[in-house]
């Protein structure tokens, strides 16, 4: 983790930097970014910036804000599945020792279902849980079915915002709707805490399927509009062109589960979109589905008028 004037940065993938905290929207100068890329010998970096910023791909953060979270704010589909899930499991705090023992099987099963390969080894998973156990602000919650850990999530509180991190579920328990029960219970618990104003579920992903965010929106979360900006090292910028993007897309079509190709294609796509005016960009389809928060469409209209 390194610090610059506007943010912290961590390596997410080989020679790729991601700004942290994720829920911050920052506006670093070009000098700051170029210096960071050169000092860290990174190929590219990624951060969220306000919609009013001149550069960046139209994107969103998946968030829930305010204390008014209950079954009544969910749609009929979500209410039914939460009730089913709560009948089939109990949601409770779990130790990181238990998560280290039982969580890796869920982690690897989740990535396999999503056709993603960039998972942690069993040893790396254990190290992650051991590290989180000793850090302030980190907690773990699990959905328990007949004594077994069926789903889990790590939470992290930073100021008035709580992050939901590393959520996974074993396919054996999907039909029991334990993910619905877990997301609902943890969201309600965290928003009920004094001083907590929002839950940050995720960034708009470079490569994950849209279904991942559809689930979150149905669980009462909304899209907070931002621009995600990808910046390449000055030496690499000439190579971040349409021909290179087409080549990476073709390679990804041949090897769809290759994590490096998926991330590279996403970086090039976000970079190319981010160079265009907002009104000329391809907006994420999920932003304007009927179940989405109407504020997203209103904000988009304001920015492109």
Q: Where are the domains of the chain?
A: 2-59+223-241+273-304, 67-196
Q: Does residue 293 carry a pLDDT above 70?
A: no
Higher pLDDT, 67 or 98: 98
Phi, psi of 64 (to 5 degrees): -130, 130
Distance of CA 42 to the CA centre of its chain: 22
Residue 301: its pLDDT value, please? 38
Alpha-carbon distance values, 57 to 34, 63, 277 (Å): 19, 19, 9
122-133 and 96-113 helices, crossing angle to 10°? 140
Question: What CATH number is given for 67-196 in this structure?
Answer: 3.40.630.30
Among 35-44, 111-120, 253-262, 285-294, the range with the most confident prediction by mean pLDDT is 35-44
Q: Does residue 159 carry a pLDDT above 90?
A: yes
pLDDT digits (tens, 9 = 90+) for 56-68: 999 999 999 988 8
Beta bridge partners, 301, equal none
How large a percentage of the chain has pLDDT more than 90?
73
On average, the pLDDT of the chain sits at: 90
Quickly state the pLDDT bin for 210 (edges 50, 70, 90).
Answer: confident
Q: By the 8 A CB rule, do 159 and 166 touch?
A: no
Higher pLDDT, 2 or 113: 2
Distance of CA 234 to the CA centre of its chain: 27
Q: Across residues 212-240, what is the average pLDDT? A: 94
Q: Output the CA torsion sign for 241, 245, 251, 255.
A: positive
pLDDT digits (tens, 9 = 90+) for 113-152: 766 655 678 898 999 999 999 899 999 999 999 999 999 9
Strands, DSSP E only, in 131-221?
138-145, 148-158, 161-169, 198-203
pLDDT digits (tens, 9 = 90+) for 174-208: 999 999 999 999 999 999 999 999 999 999 998 87
């Amino acid at each position: 983790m390194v610090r610059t004037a506007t943010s912290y940065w961590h390596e997410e993938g080989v020679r790729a930097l991601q700004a942290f905290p994720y829920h911050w929207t920052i506006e670093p100068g070009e000098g700051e970014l170029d210096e960071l890329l050169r000092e860290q010998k990174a190929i590219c970096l990624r951060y969220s910036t306000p919609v009013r910023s001149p550069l960046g791909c139209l994107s969103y953060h998946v968030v829930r804000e305010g204390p008014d979270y209950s079954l009544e704010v969910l749609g009929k589909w979500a209410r039914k599945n939460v009730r089913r899930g709560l009948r089939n499991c109990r949601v409770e705090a779990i130790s990181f020792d238990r998560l280290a023992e039982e969580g890796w099987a869920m982690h690897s099963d989740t990535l396999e279902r999503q056709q993603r390969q960039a998972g942690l080894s069993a040893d790396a998973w254990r190290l992650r849980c051991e590290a989180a156990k000793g850090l302030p602000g980190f907690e773990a919650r699990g959905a328990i079915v007949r004594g077994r850990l069926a789903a889990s999530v790590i939470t992290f509180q930073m100021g008035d915002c709580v992050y939901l991190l590393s959520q996974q579920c074993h396919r054996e328990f999907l039909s029991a709707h334990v993910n619905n029960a877990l997301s609902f219970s943890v969201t309600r618990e965290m928003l009920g805490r004094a001083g907590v104003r929002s839950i940050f579920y995720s960034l708009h992903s470079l490569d994950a399927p849209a279904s991942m965010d559809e689930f979150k929106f149905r669980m009462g979360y909304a899209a907070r509009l931002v621009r995600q900006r990808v910046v390449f090292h000055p030496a690499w910028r000439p190579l971040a062109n349409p021909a290179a993007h087409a080549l990476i897309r073709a390679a990804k079509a041949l090897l769809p589960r290759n994590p490096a190709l998926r991330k590279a294609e996403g970086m090039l796509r976000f970079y190319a979109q981010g160079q265009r005016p907002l009104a000329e960009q391809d907006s994420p389809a999920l932003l304007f589905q009927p179940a989405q928060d109407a504020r997203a469409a209103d904000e988009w209209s304001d920015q492109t008028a």
